[in-house]
Amino acid sequence: MGAVFFDLDGTLLDTVPDIRAALNLALAECGGEPVSYEQTVAYVGNGARKLVERAAPHADHGRLLELFAKYYNASENELTRPYAGMRELLEKLRARGVKLAVVTNKLQISTERLMARFYPGIFDFIGGDDGSFPCKPDPSLTRYAALSLRVPLRQSIFVGDGETDVATALNADMVPISVLWGYRRREVLEAAGAKRFARNPQELGELLEKLL
Alpha helices, H only, the chain: 16-29, 37-43, 48-55, 61-74, 86-95, 108-118, 140-149, 163-171, 186-191, 201-211
Please tell me the distance from the alpha carbon of residue 176 to that of residue 156, in angstroms, as a whole number.
9
β-bridge mates for residue 160, sequence order: 178
Q: Answer yes or no: are the C-beta atoms of 48 and 163 closer than 8 Å.
A: no
Please tell me the distance from the alpha carbon of residue 86 to that of residue 200, in angstroms, as a whole number.
9
Q: What angle do CA 188, 32, 44 make, to 5 degrees?
A: 25
Peptide bond into 137 cis (omega under 30): yes
* Dihedral of alpha carbons 75, 78, 84, 87, sign: positive
Q: Which one is catalytic: 7, 18, 129, 165? A: 7
Q: Clarify whether 7 is annotated catalytic.
A: yes
Active site residues: 7
